[in-house]
């Protein structure tokens, strides 16, 4: 899981990593709008941050995130503002999966308490759990809701109405593989007004994804529906809309987004400044999974739909999050890895698109997601970066003895330069390569030891 948030002059990337020393950790990195890593704000292990975080948001001058048992706030330099740790006796686990900043500047953290679990099928019984926290990190109230007996819950959307009431959207699991969308309405004080399920219990049904519009007496919702299985492409899903009447708690179902179903697994869905929408996720066959972005007009017709891979060697390309950028384009975050993770390891993936969905730049970072750190920064120096006609690569003798080579790839994943490294200090000439943002990698015996972004001016 990797997510991205956009500020005026930076992109903040949030995700998980693991090393031999840290089995489960959380990282937050800040990038320039050109994709250059400025700093790693946070790299917490499970001792400091119990288990890993699952959601984060950037609000003005702070970053708020939450996960298993915890909710935290840090400033934009990575310094801790406040932290809350919640642990309860006699339950298997408690998770926070969503956060929302209210009009009052307080925060809501939404999750669940898991009371029983079967490791083969997942949680068997859980309740919805909500925590309200002040802007300074003080607990205001917490609530637990047992809505349906012997079911588990996943909440995907929390929405604050103009009068302060709260709407929660998610899915309840009445049986293995079956999910049924549900909606909760709460007062501003967290008291339950009502709740209900809608739609049919379906195999592999997915969650409501977003509130598209809010009128005085109704909400327009979008959700993903399982449509069956294809022999070549696997699960098929469609995006659906529904209108929820706030006055009488009724649903009216709308048509599909388009006449033909898209083979996809949607991970994020957002409203765009032009009144339209954008969705991202992954699709493909067993041989290669591609990230995709679909842009919809305000009437939900498709304006464009494009697929992305980091490079031909990376057969698994997942996009989890999409945000609109100040220039009218998009930035997406996900992860990518090859069939052989020893050669093409699991890496966080950042992808910048223009308003038409064409790639402006992309890159991946193999030091943050699910891999062993192969080398220490002290063993390798690359400078200057940005570079013009050449850059210098300095390696420790232990690395030179592995007979490595340096590879440079463009935003499309195409290799534009490959050079063997024969000495501890090597100059790499790049005057023939056009200006832009590239990925530079150090490879030894078919294995990628190091990668970073290289800006060529």
Asked if residue 213 lies in contact with residue 161, where contact means CB atoms within 8 angstroms, the answer is: no
Q: Residue 31 in contact with residue 325, Cβ under 8 Å?
A: no
pLDDT at 52 over 60: no
Q: Which pLDDT score is estimated for 358?
A: 93
85-94: long-range contacts at Cβ-Cβ below 8 A with a sequence spacing of 24 or more? 85/50, 86/131, 86/142, 87/50, 88/113, 91/115, 92/116, 92/117, 92/123, 93/68, 93/69, 93/117, 94/68, 94/69, 94/129
Question: What pLDDT sits at residue 336?
Answer: 84
Out of 112-126, 173-187, 261-275, 432-446, least confident range: 112-126
Pick from 181-185, 190-194, 240-244 the range whose average pLDDT is largest.
190-194
- Residue 45's pLDDT band, with cuts at 50, 70 and 90, is very low
Mean pLDDT to the nearest integer, 229-243:
69
Most confident of 162-171, 223-232, 349-358: 349-358
Question: Range with the lowest mean pLDDT among 11-15, 77-81, 179-183, 440-444?
Answer: 179-183
Q: Evaluate if residue 211 carries a pLDDT over 70.
A: yes
Checking if the pLDDT of 357 tops 90, the result is: yes
- The radius of gyration of the chain's CA atoms, rounded to the nearest angstrom, is 23
Domains of the chain: 2-365 (2.130.10.10), 377-456 (2.60.40.1930)
- The confidence score (pLDDT) of residue 199 equals 59
> Which one has a higher pLDDT value, 83 or 54?
83
Q: How confident is the model at residue 330 (pLDDT cuts 50, 70, 90)?
A: very high
What average pLDDT does range 193-213 have in this prediction? Answer: 65
pLDDT exceeds 90 at position 251: no
The pLDDT score that the predictor gives to residue 375 is 44
pLDDT digits (tens, 9 = 90+) for 311-328: 777 788 889 899 999 999
Average of per-residue pLDDT across 424-447: 84
Separation between Cα atoms, residue 393 and residue 30, nearest integer Å: 24
Q: How many CA atoms lie within 13 A of 313 on its CB side?
A: 15
**Residue 20's pLDDT band (boundaries 50, 70, 90)?**
low
Burial pattern 304-337, b for ≥16 Cβ within 10 A else e, equals ebebbbbbebbbbbbbbbbbbbeeebbbbbbbbb
**Weakest-pLDDT range from 48-62, 158-172, 292-306, 325-339:** 48-62
pLDDT at residue 288 in the model: 80
Q: What gap in Å lies between CA 56 and CA 15, rounded to an integer?
A: 9
Q: Pick the more confident residue, 362 or 41.
A: 362
What pLDDT is stored for residue 181 in this prediction? 75
User: Would the pLDDT of 456 be above 50?
Assistant: yes
Q: Note the pLDDT of residue 452.
A: 74
Q: What is the mean pLDDT of the chain?
A: 78
Region 345-361: mean pLDDT is: 87
Mean local confidence (pLDDT), 155-180: 78
What does the pLDDT look like over 114-159, one tens digit per residue?
776 554 555 567 788 999 999 999 999 999 987 666 677 778 888 8
Summarize the confidence of residues 180-201 as an average pLDDT.
81
Instruction: Please give the model's pTM, rounded to 2 decimal places.
Output: 0.72
Lowest mean pLDDT among 252-266, 385-399, 430-444: 252-266
């Amino acid at each position: 899981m990797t997510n991205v948030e956009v500020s005026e002059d930076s992109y903040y990337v949030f995700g998980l990593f693991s090393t031999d020393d840290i089995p489960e950790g959380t990282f937050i990195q800040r990038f320039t709008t050109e994709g250059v890593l400025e700093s790693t704000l946070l790299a917490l292990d499970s001792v400091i941050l119990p288990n890993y975080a699952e959601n984060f948001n950037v609000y003005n001058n702070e970053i708020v995130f939450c996960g298993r048992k915890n909710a935290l706030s840090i400033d934009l330099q990575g310094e801790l503002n406040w932290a809350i740790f919640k642990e309860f006796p006699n339950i298997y686990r408690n998770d926070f999966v969503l956060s929302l900043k209210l009009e009052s500047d307080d925060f809501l953290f939404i999750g669940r308490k898991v009371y029983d679990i079967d490791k083969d099928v997942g949680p068997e019984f859980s309740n919805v759990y909500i925590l309200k926290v002040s802007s300074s990190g003080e607990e205001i109230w917490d609530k637990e809701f047992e809505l349906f007996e012997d079911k588990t819950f996943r909440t995907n959307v929390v929405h604050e109405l103009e009068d302060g009431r709260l709407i929660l959207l998610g899915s309840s699991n009445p049986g293995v593989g079956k999910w049924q969308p549900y909606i909760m309405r709460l007062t501003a004080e967290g008291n339950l007004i009502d709740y209900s399920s809608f739609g049919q219990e379906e195999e592999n049904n997915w969650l409501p994804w977003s509130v598209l519009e809010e009128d005085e007496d109704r909400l327009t919702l979008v959700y993903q529906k399982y449509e069956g299985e294809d022999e070549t492409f696997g699960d098929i899903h469609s995006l659906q809309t529904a209108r929820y009447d706030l006055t009488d708690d009724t649903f009216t179902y709308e048509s599909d987004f388009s006449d033909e179903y898209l083979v996809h697994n949607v991970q994020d869905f957002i409203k765009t400044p032009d009144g339209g929408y954008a969705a991202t996720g992954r699709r493909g066959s067993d041989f290669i999974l591609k990230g995709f972005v679909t842009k919809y007009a305000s009437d939900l017709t498709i304006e464009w739909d494009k697929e992305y891979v980091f490079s031909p060697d990376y057969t698994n390309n997942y996009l989890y999050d999409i945000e609109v950028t100040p220039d009218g384009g998009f930035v997406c975050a996900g992860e990518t890895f090859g069939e052989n993770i020893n050669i093409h390891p699991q890496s966080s993936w950042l992808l910048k698109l223009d308003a038409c969905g064409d790639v402006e730049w992309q890159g991946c970072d193999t030091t943050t997601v699910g891999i062993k750190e192969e080398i220490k920064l002290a063993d390798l120096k690359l400078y200057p970066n940005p570079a013009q006609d050449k850059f210098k690569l300095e390696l420790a003798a232990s690395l030179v003895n592995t007979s490595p080579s340096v590879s440079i790839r463009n935003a499309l994943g195409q290799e534009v330069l490959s050079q063997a490294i024969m000495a501890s200090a090597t100059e790499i000439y790049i005057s023939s390569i056009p200006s832009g943002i590239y990925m530079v990698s150090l490879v030894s015996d078919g294995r990628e030891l190091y990668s970073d972004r290289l800006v060529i001016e």
